[in-house]
Amino acid sequence: MRVAVNFRFSEGVTNQYDNEEFTTIDMVTYDLGIGVGRSGFFSIGYGTPSSDYYEGYMCKVGLGFDILSLAPTGGKSGRFGLTLGIEGEFASGSTTSIQDNRADVKYEDGNIYGGAVTLRLVEVFYMGIGYGFISSDEISSKGNYSLKGNYTNFIIGLNIPF
């Protein structure tokens, strides 16, 4: 079993007129994964915006595979000190700004998809770095926009072998 936190940071997000925009769809998710066979895993995740000005959600699914295992631990058969893997993710989310005196209400619905290279140390510590794409639609009193951009993903977690 695997528990992890995915931190996403958007970059280069623009609207259909190539103007730079701010997106709220790149939120942190908390993931729970389970092994599939010896070298694969499936994960699901859920997150909410970490802002006092937005509410919403993101649901994520991921699929990954170990591609290289080094340094057998010598204890249990099939355990390694260092395992390199790849992971793909797809997520869908929605946010709504909370109306206040400074801004109009905005709605954003979108998807993110990307991949990551992961590293597992001593079968317990799990980390990764990845890259992906953002595609979303924003609706506000100032108009409707299609947003697109990229994100960088950092993963930190624990792998619980059984």
Count up the domains in the chain and report the number.
Answer: 1
**Helix (H), strand (E) at residue 125:** strand 125-140
- CATH code for the domain in which residue 90 is found: 2.40.160
Query: How many residues are present in the chain?
Result: 162
Residues 10-62 pLDDT 10s: 999 999 999 998 888 888 999 999 988 778 889 999 998 878 788 999 999 99
Residues 97-109 pLDDT 10s: 886 666 678 899 9
Over residues 55-78, mean pLDDT:
83
Sequential DSSP letters for 8-33: EEEEEEE-TTS-B---S----EEEEE
Instruction: Tokens 């993110």: give the residue.
Output: 112
54 phi and psi, to 5 degrees?
-135, 150
Domain containing residue 92:
2-159
Q: Report the distance separating Cα 82 and Cα 68, nearest Å.
A: 8
Instruction: Tokens 């925009």: give the residue.
Output: 21
Question: Under a CB-based contact definition with an 8 Å cutoff, are residues 100 and 53 in contact?
Answer: yes
